[in-house]
Amino acid sequence: MSEPTREVVDQMSGPVVLEFGASWCPHCQAIQSDIVATLANHPNVQHIKVEDGKGKPLGRSFRVKLWPTLVFMRDGQVVSQLVRPSREEITKGFAEL
């Protein structure tokens, strides 16, 4: 799946989590089980995994510099943005949605 544009993301309704990272990134791999478990408890949250990299416009539009970066949005507005989050931060981010 190709990544959505910032315009598309900004028009999404309801709770959305954008997960920026790379499949080979050890920090990204380390939080996958926490993200999957938390998503299971929040079936109403749309999760979009973005394979990020140099020159990728969506990641740049959110000023992503380190992976993983989670962007929590509701109705097109950023609620919070976490960089290399802990399990507790991930749980808190979902709770804020």
pLDDT in tens, 4-30: 999 999 999 999 999 999 999 999 999
**43: buried, middle or exposed (CB in 10 Å: 19+, 13-18, 0-12)?**
exposed
**The residue to which tokens 């969506």 are assigned:** 58
Q: Is 4 helix (H, G, I), strand (E, B) or coil?
A: coil
Amino acid at 48: I
Determine the distance from the C-alpha atom of residue 37 to the mean position of all C-alpha atoms in its chain, rounded to a whole number. Answer: 15
Tell me what pLDDT residue 1 has: 56
Q: Would you say residue 2 has pLDDT above 80?
A: no
Amino acid at 80: S
CA dist 92 and 26 (Å) reads 22
As its CATH architecture, domain 6-96 has 3-Layer(aba) Sandwich (3.40)
- Domain spans of the chain? 6-96
